[in-house]
Amino acid sequence: MIVVYVCGVVNSTVYVRSYLWDGATVNWSYNHGATLYGIAIAPDGRIAICGECYGQVGVRVLSENGVQLWSYIHGATAPVRAVAFDSSGNLIIGGDYSDGTNLYTLRKLDYSGSVLWSKAANGTRTRCVAVDADGRVYAGGSDGVLRRYLSDGTVDSTYTHNAEIYGVAIDSGGNVYLGGSRYLSNSTRKLNSSMSLQWSKDHGNAVYAVAVDPDDNLITAGAVASSTYTTRKYQPDGTLDWSVNHGDIVYGCCADPAGNIYTTGVRIGSTTTRRYLSDGSLTIDPWIDWGATSYGVKVRWDTAPAIPLGLGIAQPLPLREIGSSALLTGFIIYRCYLTGGSGTIQIPLSSFQSRRRTDTPVWLSVVSPAATDTMITDINARADGQIIIKRGVKYPDGSEQLDELMRADFESLRIDKGATSASLSLTGRSTEIATAKTRVLQGVSYRPTSSGARRVRCAVDTYLAPGDTADLGGGETMPVNEIVIWVSPQQAYMEVAEA
């Protein structure tokens, strides 16, 4: 089920709520005791909240059901203003000076809340934090410098914005976006993976939050600019896509895997939190009314809900029969199954990648977070089975419609164990047979040519196979020789090559 989390100033003793996707049904509420500024969601579904201190506590980690797991005191009176999880479940926190001696404003905590490292950086306060796919930490604050740290806390790179930084986000290519107070009429910047400036934009006022959607478009939110706009969407090259007005300051924003955009801020009428479609149009207005100023919004979606072992796979309607209007309110999802043994089982899915070439067996690698003894036993009992990846749509009511993307003969299982977690890697290969056809590629993001051969990155196509013809638009076509797919909770894309 799709869940929306909102936090902020006290509303009837509540400081954070979990809502269903309709924005009206409340799953649970939690009372931190003081204003909350930020929310983060861990890979395993845990939720971190941060804000003003209550009983000296500025950070709490809750279960996905809203039960406190642990709390942390950053400083007796020092608020924590930003939180972010890395892929291992470690928590990054940023806030005001921790005390009058250490002056710490940035910390990394492990899975259980123990300090791994602390930094006195970003001036008197850290306003924003983010973590990239390599575990590097980005932090900005009152001194106007964005710093990047390696996972061990070593400073790796910096960029000077010259004004207070309130928001930071990383896209799938490792590019960095920051938002903050205006400096020389610039409040939004894009940096490449080397932290060099690519472009700058002027919101017209301070930008308090930034987020990246599944297509690496940038969402910015902040104070009202020219009495007109609070939220903007930019394409990766900096082209403005659209602007909308909440009516007052917007403090938080995020995007979901379907490209819907969520904003939250000062209460206007009976609305604090809005949901926009990818084209900037409102879905429901009013939507969520927090009842007071709200500072944080985040969305969680189930990547692999539990399915009883031995449950057979029902034959779904073909995905091609789903109308485009359904995708406006549904999420593209992926499911992994393993056949054989006493029956087909579902494998919880963290990520997968595949390579398919003409006249070459399919190669498929799947990573699962479910490294339990029971799951390992069940997988080993299906050594003669096939790994099946299905792709489809999950609707807000929890129903799904799936179609097969690929399959491969199961070859090997590897168990990877860390200090606090473990994962499974399943690998498979097989020969596929397909009837040649022509498919129109969607969401093309770049088209480099090397030694005369074209390569195109685009949205994942469930039905494209090696040997097909790719329609690139404008009358241009390309024979498909290789297809490489990468899918994770943060991104999903496909590269198609003719040689």
CA distance 21 to 330: 11
Domain co-membership, 274 together with 357: no
Torsions phi, psi for 370 (to 5 deg) = -90, 65
Domain co-membership, 247 together with 379: no
CA distance 104 to 335: 43
User: 453: domain CATH number?
Assistant: 2.30.300.10
**Greater confidence, 6 or 373?**
6
pLDDT in tens, 299-338: 987 543 332 222 222 333 343 334 444 444 567 788 999 9
Q: Quick one: what percent of the chain has pLDDT higher than 90? A: 61
User: Is residue 74, in this structure, part of any structural domain at all?
Assistant: yes
Q: Which of 300, 327, 361 is the last residue of a domain?
A: 300
Copy the structure tokens of residue 24: 């009206």
User: Is residue 310, in this structure, part of any structural domain at all?
Assistant: no
Give the residue-averaged pLDDT of 444-461. Answer: 84
* Max CA distance (Å), the chain: 71
**Greater confidence, 326 or 219?**
219
Domain co-membership, 95 together with 162: yes
User: Is residue 59, in this structure, part of any structural domain at all?
Assistant: yes
User: 202: domain CATH number?
Assistant: 2.130.10.10
pLDDT in tens, 413-428: 998 876 666 789 999 9
Q: Which of 300, 334, 367 is the last residue of a domain?
A: 300
Copy the structure tokens of residue 343: 């029956």
Domain co-membership, 104 together with 207: yes
Domain co-membership, 19 together with 104: yes
Give the residue-averaged pLDDT of 332-356. Answer: 92
Comparing 33-42, 100-109, 295-304, 466-475, the range with the smallest average pLDDT is: 295-304
Domain co-membership, 68 together with 194: yes
CA distance 48 to 108: 13
The predicted structure's pLDDT at residue 418: 66
pLDDT above 90: residue 36? yes
Domain co-membership, 266 together with 328: no
The predicted structure's pLDDT at residue 1: 59
**Rounded mean pLDDT of the chain?**
87
Copy the structure tokens of residue 89: 């479940």
Is-cis flag, bond preceding 286, omega within 30?
A: yes
Q: Quick one: what percent of the chain has pLDDT higher than 70? A: 92
Domain co-membership, 331 together with 474: yes
Strands 492-497 and 453-458: what pairing? Answer: antiparallel
Domain co-membership, 384 together with 287: no
CA distance 224 to 250: 8
User: Is residue 312, in this structure, part of any structural domain at all?
Assistant: no
Copy the structure tokens of residue 499: 């040689």
Domain co-membership, 292 together with 345: no
Q: Which of 248, 271, 300 is the last residue of a domain?
A: 300
Domain co-membership, 336 together with 287: no
Q: What is the DSSP secondary structure assignment for residue 319, as one 8-state letter? A: G
User: Is residue 305, in this structure, part of any structural domain at all?
Assistant: no
149, 119 contact by CB (below 8 A): yes
Give the residue-averaged pLDDT of 123-143. Answer: 95
CA distance 493 to 426: 20
Domain membership of residue 400 as a residue range: 319-497
pLDDT in tens, 77-121: 899 999 999 988 999 999 999 877 778 999 999 999 999 999 998
Give the residue-averaged pLDDT of 406-410. Answer: 94
Copy the structure tokens of residue 494: 């496909």
The predicted structure's pLDDT at residue 249: 94
pLDDT above 90: residue 407? yes
User: Is residue 314, in this structure, part of any structural domain at all?
Assistant: no
CA distance 49 to 54: 12
The predicted structure's pLDDT at residue 315: 35
The predicted structure's pLDDT at residue 300: 87
Domain co-membership, 233 together with 278: yes
Give the model's confidence band at 7: pLDDT under 50 very low, under 70 low, under 90 confident, else very high: very high
User: Is residue 311, in this structure, part of any structural domain at all?
Assistant: no
User: Is residue 313, in this structure, part of any structural domain at all?
Assistant: no
Give the residue-averaged pLDDT of 175-184. Answer: 95
* 321 CB-near residues (< 8 Å, 6+ apart): none
Total structural domains within the chain: 2
